[in-house]
């Protein structure tokens, strides 16, 4: 796998395994016979090679246009993304975390200051909430969907809560009808974190179109990945979109005149927009391929004791198959056995937000057992659309060996 020059990313990315040159994993169990094949969690070079000519044409268009920021490519991408997700507006920003921060700022009702979220979704919402100047509060997740529901959110709602952020975890669009009603009844805004769920849902009810706003990340490993960082907020409200367009550019109402506070510089650049236009039309097909691979893993696990390992299936179209998530009551032992068969794995996400020192002060006063259980049991198998047949077969063989 190519190294990726992360620029401003200094810490290891949680969605990314520790990889050496050519995808070899740096951490091997000692004293285990290694398999012939090595299947890594991701290999971005394959998708880049697949799209190479179109990406070069897109880059050439940008260079020849003379626009680096907010030119024709960016405008076209915002329109195409909004049309694809069946919303009125898409607002390009610099990352998925910025999308969360700006969406929270754009929808937070006056006089409120708490954002309710889940603690098993990578802490992106906690980061964005604190950056926006508000306080995260955690609700438990449903044991099946691993997402917030109306039943889990209701106990933590009070007059301070202004926003609920629900993450469509691993790419499955979770059912939001009751949660949206609960939020409406309490004057609370609902944001969908769709960073893992672009294209999830059904026509007329796409992930990102049910809440007041939906946020997207175009981080390179995402189902719609840029060649660098990028993100967007989508909404069915032109008023919220107008606020977001101000917030992403210094709070400007017009040039050099900041008319709302909380503005930042967070723009999706023209080159990334051009690359994303190449890839957006491929998303549905690539999501289908991801689902197909997950189905193969699930079939291979059919005879494995579910306590040892079960694969979280992704059968419906409402699922983007972002990650091939699995569960085990003895996760590290199972991961070691898979590794001995040459199969990488990773954990999304191992530490509840409030157990991370940066968010310890927001620790919940009552236990959230399903969140804690998910963080201790769930792990991810290799999954990207360009996985080869021999690699998929090797993962399936490794899973079957657990029976």
Ligand X SMILES: Cc1ncc(COP(=O)(O)O)c(C=O)c1O
Marked catalytic residue, from 16, 206, 222, 245? 222
Q: Which residues contact 298 (CB under 8 A, 6 or more apart)?
A: 311, 313
**Is residue 97 near ligand X by the rule CB under 6 A?**
yes
- When CB distances to ligand X are compared, the closest residue is 96
Between the alpha carbon of residue 342 and those of residues 21, 23, 25, 35, 39, the distances in Å are 16, 12, 9, 5, 6
For ligand X, the binding residues in 139-178 under the rule CB under 6 A are 167
Closer CB to ligand X, residue 175 or residue 397? 175
Among 71, 92, 96, 225, binds ligand X (CB under 6 A): 96
Tokens of 288: 């289908």
User: Least separation, in Å, of the C-beta of 219 and ligand X?
Assistant: 4
Q: Which residues contact 367 (CB under 8 A, 6 or more apart)?
A: none
Q: How far apart are CA 275 and CA 216, in angstroms?
A: 16
Beta bridge partners of 187: none
User: Least separation, in Å, of the C-beta of 222 and ligand X?
Assistant: 7
Closer CB to ligand X, residue 6 or residue 252? 6
Beta bridge partners of 378: 327
Count of Cβ atoms closer than 10 Å to residue 284 Cβ = 15
**Is residue 102 near ligand X by the rule CB under 6 A?**
no
Stretch 176-195: interaction string toward ligand X, x if CB under 6 A: -----------------x-x
Tokens of 146: 């691993």
User: Least separation, in Å, of the C-beta of 9 and ligand X?
Assistant: 8
For ligand X, the binding residues in 108-137 under the rule CB under 6 A are 121-122, 124
For ligand X, the binding residues in 351-390 under the rule CB under 6 A are none
Closer CB to ligand X, residue 167 or residue 313? 167
Report the alpha-carbon angle 287-96-98, nearest 5: 165
| 222 classed as catalytic | yes
Closer CB to ligand X, residue 93 or residue 240? 93
Q: What is the DSSP string of 181-234?
A: HHHHHTT-EEEEE-TT-TT-EETTEETTSSSSEEEEE--TTSSS--SS--EEEE
Among 42, 73, 188, 217, binds ligand X (CB under 6 A): 217
**Is residue 225 near ligand X by the rule CB under 6 A?**
no
Look at residue 391 and give its three-state secondary structure. helix
Among 211, 225, 231, 263, binds ligand X (CB under 6 A): 231
User: Least separation, in Å, of the C-beta of 98 and ligand X?
Assistant: 7
Nearest to 173 by CA among 189, 195, 155, 143: 195
Positions touching ligand X (CB under 6 A) are 15, 95-97, 121-122, 124, 167, 193, 195-196, 217, 219, 229, 231
Active-site amino acid positions: 222
């Amino acid at each position: 796998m190519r190294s990726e020059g992360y620029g401003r990313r200094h810490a290891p990315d949680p969605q990314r395994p520790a990889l050496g040159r050519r995808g070899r994993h740096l951490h091997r169990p000692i004293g285990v016979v290694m398999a012939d094949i090595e299947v890594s969690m991701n290999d971005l070079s394959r998708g880049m090679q697949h799209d190479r000519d179109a990406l070069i044409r897109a880059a050439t268009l940008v260079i020849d246009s003379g626009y680096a920021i907010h030119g024709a490519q960016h405008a076209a991408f915002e329109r195409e993304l909004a049309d694809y997700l069946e919303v009125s507006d898409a607002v390009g920003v610099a990352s998925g975390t910025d999308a969360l921060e700006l969406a929270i700022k754009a929808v937070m009702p006056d006089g409120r200051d708490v954002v309710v979220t889940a603690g098993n979704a990578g802490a992106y919402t906690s980061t964005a909430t604190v950056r926006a100047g508000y306080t995260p509060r955690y609700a438990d997740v449903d044991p099946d969907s691993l997402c917030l529901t109306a039943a889990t959110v209701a106990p933590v709602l009070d007059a301070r809560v202004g926003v609920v952020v629900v993450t469509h975890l691993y790419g499955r669009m979770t059912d939001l009808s009751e949660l949206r009603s609960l939020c409406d009844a309490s004057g609370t805004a609902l944001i969908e974190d769709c960073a893992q769920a672009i294209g999830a849902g059904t026509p007329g009810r796409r992930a990102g179109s049910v809440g007041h706003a939906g946020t997207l990340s175009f981080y390179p490993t995402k189902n719609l990945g840029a060649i660098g960082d990028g993100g967007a907020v989508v909404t069915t409200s032109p008023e919220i979109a107008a606020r977001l367009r101000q917030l992403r550019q210094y709070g400007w109402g017009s040039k050099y005149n900041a008319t709302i506070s909380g503005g930042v510089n967070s723009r999706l650049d023209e080159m990334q927009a051009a690359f994303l236009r190449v890839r957006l039309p491929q998303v549905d097909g690539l999501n289908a391929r991801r689902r197909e691979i997950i189905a193969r893993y699930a079939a291979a696990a059919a005879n494995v004791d579910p306590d040892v390992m079960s694969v979280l299936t992704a059968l419906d179209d409402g699922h983007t198959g972002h990650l091939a998530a699995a569960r085990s009551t003895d996760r590290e032992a199972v991961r070691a056995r898979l590794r001995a068969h040459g199969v990488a794995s990773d954990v999304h996400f191992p530490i509840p937000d409030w157990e991370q020192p940066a968010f310890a002060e927001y620790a919940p006063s009552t236990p959230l057992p399903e969140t804690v259980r998910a963080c201790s049991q769930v792990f991810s198998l290799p999954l990207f659309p360009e996985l080869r047949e021999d690699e998929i077969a090797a993962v399936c063989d490794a899973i079957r060996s657990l029976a």
